[in-house]
Amino acid sequence: MDTGPTWDDGSVPYLVAAVVAAFAALAGWLARPLTPDPAERRELADAVNAVDRELAANLELTTMFDQTKQAVTLENGEFVRYSATLARHAGPAAAAVAKLYDQMSFAESAMVRRGPANSLRAEDRMIIEGWEGDAREAQRSLRATLEARPLRGWAALSARLHGRFARR
């Protein structure tokens, strides 16, 4: 009686090796560096540059307030215009900037409040100076998003698979 090939005839290790090599090749292909789309990169750069300029102008206005003690109205038009783009492409930096712009009205209110002889209360000064520090930190984090390297390895693989299934 003749029997067919068995698992121990020597061909199975080659089959297992071929399957493992195929999975390794697939994982390697999916883990290759994930470069951003040039149009998305340009859109992010425009948004970051506009909000960065607006934050610089707001910091200049708070410096003028420090010198003159005259209340100023801080700008928020560029952030409103580009907030969706930042949220989509800048992640944590966008959250920090959104929090900063949420606190903007508190800083403006602190500039308006006055004590005796047109003095500024210590609590209000802390609010204004805290906002200035947060604005500088937000500027640094926004600029850092433009210097981000392409995703590699596991992060690229995860982003590719997440993007693939999110589109369906």
Query: What are the sequence ranges of the domains in the chain?
Result: 7-35+150-168, 36-149
> Measured between alpha carbons, how far is 124 from 2 in angstroms, rounded to an integer?
94
Neighbours of 128 (CB within 10 A): 20
Rg (CA), the chain: 27
Per-residue pLDDT of the chain (168 residues; tens, 9 = 90+): 566 666 566 667 787 888 899 988 877 777 777 677 789 889 999 999 999 999 999 999 999 998 888 889 999 999 999 999 999 888 889 999 999 999 999 999 999 987 777 788 899 999 999 999 999 999 999 999 988 777 677 777 777 777 654 443
Largest CA distance in the chain: 112
pLDDT (0 to 100) of residue 153: 74
Q: 48: closest CA among 11, 88, 104, 21? A: 88
Helix (H) or strand (E) holding 46: helix 38-68
> Measured between alpha carbons, how far is 144 from 139 in angstroms, rounded to an integer?
9
Strand partners, 151: 34
pTM for the model: 0.72
